[in-house]
Amino acid sequence: MKFVMTLSTVSLLGLISILHIYWAYGGRWGVGAVIPSKAGENKPAFVPHKIGTLAVATLMLIVCFILLVQGGYLHSVIPATLIRGGCIVCAAVFFLRAIGDFTHIGFFKKVKHTVFARNDTWLYSPLCLYFGLTCTILLF
């Protein structure tokens, strides 16, 4: 089970990272469904910049590396305690993302009737919960 969870999480995060790189360099596919909208408006809550989008892509690839090392599928010269700490941070970040900001993102958001909100409820937040669970399981 640990193998399947790790492999699926790393694969999905890798794909999501590739999507972020695509968006950072001008790709438009799916953009309307992945940026939160303001309540009652059709305007995005924020405008992502190229540097921030590439940073997210890079962080997701780092998470992939951490998970592969923590799961014992890759060897690294980075100390095990640092990898373990990174895995704890990743689990916390994914769980916090799933809980959300209580306004636009997460299971407890107030804005619920936008394209992003529906996708967040049924796809993005459950994925973050799954990713956090995978990170937690790899710690034990």
What is the model's pLDDT at position 41? 73
pTM: 0.93
CA distance 49 to 69: 31
DSSP class per residue in 59-128: HHHHHHHHHHHHTTSS--SS-HHHHHHHHHHHHHHHHHHHH--SSSSSTT-S--SSHHHHHIIIIIHHHH
Q: What is the pLDDT along the chain (140 residues), one digit of tens a residue?
A: 899 999 999 999 999 999 999 999 999 998 889 999 877 777 888 889 999 999 999 999 999 999 999 999 999 999 999 999 999 999 999 999 999 999 999 999 999 889 999 999 999 999 999 999 999 999 99
CA distance 133 to 130: 5
What is the model's pLDDT at position 45? 84
The type of residue at 112 is: K
Residue 104: count other Cβ atoms within 10 Å of its Cβ: 21
What is the model's pLDDT at position 43? 82
Residue 104 phi/psi, 5-degree rounding, is -110, -30
What is the model's pLDDT at position 42? 76
Q: How far is CA 33 from CA 29, 88, 99, 100, in A?
A: 9, 29, 19, 17
What is the model's pLDDT at position 32? 84
